[in-house]
Chain A
Amino acid sequence: QITLKESGPTLVKPTQTLTLTCNFSGFAFDTRGEGVAWIRQPPGKALEWLTLIYYNGEKRFSPSHQSRLNIARDTSRKQVVLTMTNMDPVDTGTYFCSHMSYTFSSGYRYFDSWGQGTRVTVSS
């Protein structure tokens, strides 16, 4: 059974850097096409994909936030870390980490397991 859990600060000040950690279990993170993503949701709004790191260390970023984002993994500690610089009040929301699966035969990708999410408020 795959589980993920996010942790990090609940309150950050504008211009500060947000660092969130995703602790995962139930998968080895060594399967072709497998990934761990960060997805956020402002209050009352739609989900927004931010970034993903693949099993082989390759990274993908949303162009809208690429200059502010980094993602890293520590497979031995079963962690994926999100870093987002220059935080602004519009970045307030719930941040989820999610496991992405991949079907080799057809190339379908989907987020099949999610953490409970962590709420982040950006305010001075």
Chain B
Amino acid sequence: DIQMAQSPSSLSASLGDRVTITCRSSQSISKYLNWYQQKVGEAPKLLIYAATTLQTGVPSRFSGSGSGTEFTLTISSLQPEDLATYSCQQSYTTPWTFGPGTKVEIK
């Protein structure tokens, strides 16, 4: 199985801050990497697919980059509604696997 790691596991930032979350895969997955946002008590929501493509309806303050084994999710200006856990997921090969999540808190 391809293992997914994320850092940090949690972070606290102020409104308006730029936030960056890193995801690393145990082997190269090209750009087969998706990002999800999950608010407490809710289902995950797709933010970005294919490492860099913003899902329809997702605010442009979210962006993704990377390829191979290292990827980043950036929130350019943190908003109150961004309080959530963010998870990466590889779609390179089955079993499709998720990262452990990064919890984003507002300072």
Q: Are chains A and B native binding partners rather than an unrelated pairing?
A: yes
Q: Which chain B residue shows the least CB distance to A116?
A: B43
Chain B interface, DSSP helix/strand/loop, else mixed: loop
| Tier of interface size on chain B | 20 to 34
A108 near B44 with CB under 8 A, answer: no
B94 near A108 with CB under 8 A, answer: no
Q: How close is A72's CB to chain B, nearest CB, in angstroms? A: 18
B contact residues around A63 at 8 Å (CB): 1, 95
B contact residues around A103 at 8 Å (CB): 50
Chain A interface, DSSP helix/strand/loop, else mixed: loop
Choice from A49, A114, A116 contacting B98 with Cβ under 8 Å: A49
Interface residue total, chain A, C-beta cutoff 8 A: 22
B50 near A47 with CB under 8 A, answer: no
Q: Which of B9-52 contact A (CB under 8 A)?
A: 31-32, 34, 36, 42-46, 49-50
B binding-site residues for A, Cβ under 8 Å: 1, 31-32, 34, 36, 42-46, 49-50, 53, 55, 87, 89, 91, 94-101
